[in-house]
């Protein structure tokens, strides 16, 4: 999942994928804005063929939280 | 895509994307000058105008949508194509012995002259010399080819190439392909799964049981008058288009320190600046409309997420209504978080064709043409024309957005950062038949009052703020 997120997020910002860890924050560290962030989650949603809850995803801040959320949807 | 013969050459031509259709639609009720955007970027430096001319020439070549043109097929349908690069004359205007204000007025006049719409360039760059040693470029583009992000991108490119030619700094990176991005957008339009999902979202939004309420920056007069005219005391929408779309612009500058307080607040509470501005605007509209709880504003979505969207030029702006229903007991912070969540929801469905949404909403609500629940729109532009200024950090800059003299809707508010100190400028472009400069000043005054009362105590309720101001 981490690799998938790295691949997708690097379509949005110029950021070294090797520097992305579970603790990396999408907005503060990688510089995504709120539009980028929602679109990026939309790409992940399509890629993993799951449906996210809009009210829940706005609380995601870090890569680790995104991994945990999307893993929970796959279960 | 279809191939059309244009002046003896066969060109690959593409349909308009929804963002372009949105601008094209404006031409049905406004003169063509409504699509002209004029900007200027000037630096206080002894400019080498021969090098600047070469930088502009190279930028034309690199920036595909500066070569975007329109044509019509045999059925009269508008198509677009990228014309091959050709040398273009770049005018030079020396205003150095003019009063600066007069020079800007002259450039405002240029901005009000529309482009010929078919098979002609849709932009013009002029090299300009101003008083006090300032010089730079005036850029006029047609909104169907570029939006403000593209304008910032092009201007920055000219500056970077100029610096590279003059000082040997790095040349800008190549752009992403506009046509490839357009093809993605057109593929979405072909009844894709994503479009179906977005269509369903907007259908549910539109068909909500309780109809939105029109609120106006000039109070309830417009709605009450139209209720009487239509003999419908329950009417909740108002016609906002005008036979006289003459517009003016008022710019108010929020000083550096208070602007920084707003930015610091957004950072501390993890809210976008656009959400804070929308919260302020909806609360002022509420105040001006008898403390109405149901307020809708048009929000501008730049739709530039991926790198290819950010760096392929073109026009990508979509406008959608952003509805807020807030009780007076709600705290400012809760209201702000509600707007942030609502914006995020809209972002996920913002690729949908805004004209299609508007048309379906009018049908569903049995509107008159040009009717709406929204009197104004907000655009928050975090980028400045001068970019990050890393090429000439110590050189004083001036940047300008010139009015084209007309406007489709009563009021557009564009908030952007000043390049010189990162403070916020509030640009109110308003139709003069709908509002006066004094009323705009009034609106700005209340907007600042609401926002600062809200951020100094986030637990303050909306009702308390409405009473305080």
pLDDT at B390 over 70: no
Domain B2-181 identical in fold to domain B199-468: yes
Q: Is B303 left (phi over 0), alpha (psi -120 to 50) or beta?
A: left
Give the CATH fold of the B199-468 domain: Chloramphenicol Acetyltransferase (3.30.559)
A34 touches chain B (CB under 8 A): yes
pLDDT at B376 over 70: yes
Average pLDDT over residues B273-288: 97
Residue to mutate among B306, B312, B388, with most A CBs inside 10 A, is B306
d(CA B294, CA B291): 9
User: Across all residues in chain B, what is the average pLDDT?
Assistant: 94
The pLDDT value given to residue B70: 97
The pLDDT value given to residue A39: 95
Q: Which residues of B touch A36 (CB under 8 A)?
A: 305
Query: How far away is chain A from the Cα of B346, in angstroms, using its nearest Cα?
Result: 9
The pLDDT value given to residue A29: 94
pLDDT at B386 over 70: no
The pLDDT value given to residue B391: 67
The pLDDT value given to residue B281: 98
pLDDT band at A59 (very low <50, low <70, confident <90, very high): confident
Q: Which residues of A touch B341 (CB under 8 A)?
A: 54-55, 58
Residue among B306, B307, B343 minimizing CB distance to A34:
B343
Query: Could you write out the three-class secondary structure of B111-141?
Result: HCCCCCCCCCCCEEEEEEECHHHEEEEEEEE
**pTM (global) more than 0.90:** yes
ipTM summary value: 0.94
Average pLDDT over residues B58-85: 96
pLDDT single digits (tens) B140-158: 999 999 999 999 999 999 9
Domain-by-domain residue ranges, chain B? Answer: 2-181, 199-468
The pLDDT value given to residue B363: 94
B302 touches chain A (CB under 8 A): yes
pLDDT single digits (tens) B331-344: 999 999 999 999 99
pLDDT at A51 over 70: yes
pLDDT at B398 over 90: no
The pLDDT value given to residue B388: 60
Identify the CATH number of the domain defined by range B2-181. Answer: 3.30.559.10
Average pLDDT over residues A65-75: 90
Beta strands (DSSP E) in B255-317 are 294-301
Closest listed residue to residue B178, CA positions, set B28, B62, B79, B73: B62
The pLDDT value given to residue A12: 97
Tokens 């240029």 belong to which residue? B110
Q: Which residues of B touch A31 (CB under 8 A)?
A: none
The pLDDT value given to residue B28: 86
Quickly count: other Cβ atoms within 10 Å of residue B25's Cβ: 15
For B263-300, give one letter per residue: b (16+ CB within 10 A) or e. Answer: bebbeeeebbbbbbbbbbbbbbbbbbbeebebbbbbbb
Please tell me what DSSP assigns to residue B211: P
Average pLDDT over residues B453-462: 96
pLDDT at A32 over 80: yes
Query: How far away is chain B from the Cα of A23, in angstroms, using its nearest Cα?
Result: 17
pLDDT at B447 over 80: yes
pLDDT at B467 over 80: yes
pLDDT at B236 over 70: yes
Task: Say yes or no for a CB contact (<8 Å) between A13 and B307.
Answer: yes
pLDDT at B204 over 90: yes
A54 touches chain B (CB under 8 A): yes
**Three-state SS for B62?**
helix
For B344-372, give one letter per residue: b (16+ CB within 10 A) or e. Answer: bbbbbbbbbbbbebbebbbeeeebeeebb
d(CA B358, CA B364): 10
Residue among A35, A40, A55 minimizing CB distance to B301:
A35
Rg (CA), chain A: 11
A12 touches chain B (CB under 8 A): yes
Rg (CA), chain B: 23
pLDDT single digits (tens) B417-436: 987 788 999 999 999 988 88
pLDDT at A65 over 80: yes
Average pLDDT over residues B369-387: 85
Task: Say yes or no for a CB contact (<8 Å) between B302 and A35.
Answer: yes
pLDDT at B2 over 90: yes
The pLDDT value given to residue A56: 85
Cβ pair B40, B400 in contact under 8 A: yes
The pLDDT value given to residue B397: 84
């Amino acid at each position: 999942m981490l690799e998938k997120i790295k691949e997708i997020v690097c379509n949005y910002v110029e950021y070294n994928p090797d520097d992305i860890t579970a603790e990396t924050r999408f907005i503060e560290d990688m510089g995504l804005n709120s539009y980028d962030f929602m679109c990026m989650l939309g790409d992940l949603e399509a890629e993993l063929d799951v449906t996210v809850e809009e009210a829940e995803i706005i609380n995601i801040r870090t890569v680790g939280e995104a991994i945990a959320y999307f893993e929970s949807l796959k279960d | 895509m279809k191939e059309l013969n244009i002046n003896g050459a066969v060109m690959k031509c593409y349909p308009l994307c929804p963002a372009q259709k949105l601008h094209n639609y404006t031409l049905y009720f406004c003169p063509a000058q409504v699509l002209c955007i004029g900007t200027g970027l000037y630096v206080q430096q002894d400019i080498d105008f021969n090098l600047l001319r070469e930088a502009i020439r190279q930028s034309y070549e690199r920036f595909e949508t500066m070569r975007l043109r329109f044509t019509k097929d045999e059925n009269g349908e508008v198509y677009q194509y990228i014309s091959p690069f050709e040398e273009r004359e770049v005018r030079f205007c020396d205003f150095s012995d003019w009063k600066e204000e007069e020079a800007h007025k002259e450039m405002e006049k240029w901005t009000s002259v529309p482009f010929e719409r078919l098979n002609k360039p849709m932009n013009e760059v002029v090299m300009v010399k101003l008083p006090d040693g300032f010089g730079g470029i005036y850029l006029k583009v047609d909104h169907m080819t570029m939006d403000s992000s593209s304008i910032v991108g092009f201007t920055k490119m000219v500056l970077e190439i100029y610096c590279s030619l003059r000082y040997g700094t790095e040349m800008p990176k190549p752009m992403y392909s506009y046509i490839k991005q357009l093809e993605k957008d057109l593929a979405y339009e072909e009844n894709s799964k994503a479009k179906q999902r977005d269509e369903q979202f907007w259908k549910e939004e539109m068909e909500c049981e309780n109809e939105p309420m029109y609120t106006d920056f000039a109070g309830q007069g417009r709605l009450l008058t139209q209720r009487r005219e239509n003999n419908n005391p329950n009417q909740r929408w108002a016609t906002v288009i005008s036979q006289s779309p003459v517009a003016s612009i008022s710019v108010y500058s929020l000083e550096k320190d208070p602007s920084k307080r707003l930015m610091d607040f957004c950072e501390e509470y993890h809210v976008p600046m656009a959400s804070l501005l929308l919260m302020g605007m909806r609360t002022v509209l509420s105040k001006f409309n008898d403390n109405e709880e149901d307020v809708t504003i048009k929000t501008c979505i730049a739709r530039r997420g991926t790198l290819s969207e950010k760096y392929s030029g073109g026009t990508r702006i979509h406008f959608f209504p952003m509805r807020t229903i807030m009780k007076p007991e709600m705290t400012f912070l809760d209201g702000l978080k509600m707007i942030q969540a609502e914006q995020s929801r809209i972002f996920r469905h913002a690729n949908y064709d805004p004209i299609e949404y508007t048309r379906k909403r009018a049908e569903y609500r049995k509107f008159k043409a040009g009717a709406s629940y929204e009197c104004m729109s907000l655009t928050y532009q975090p980028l400045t024309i001068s970019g990050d200024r890393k090429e000439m950090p110590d050189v004083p800059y001036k940047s300008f957005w010139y009015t084209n003299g007309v406007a489709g809707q009563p009021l557009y508010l564009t908030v952007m950062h000043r390049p010189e100190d990162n403070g916020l400028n509030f640009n109110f472009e308003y139709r003069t038949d709908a509002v006066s400069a004094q009323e705009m000043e009034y609106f700005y005054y209340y907007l600042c009052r609401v926002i600062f009362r809200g951020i100094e105590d986030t637990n303050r309720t909306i009702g308390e703020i409405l009473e305080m101001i």
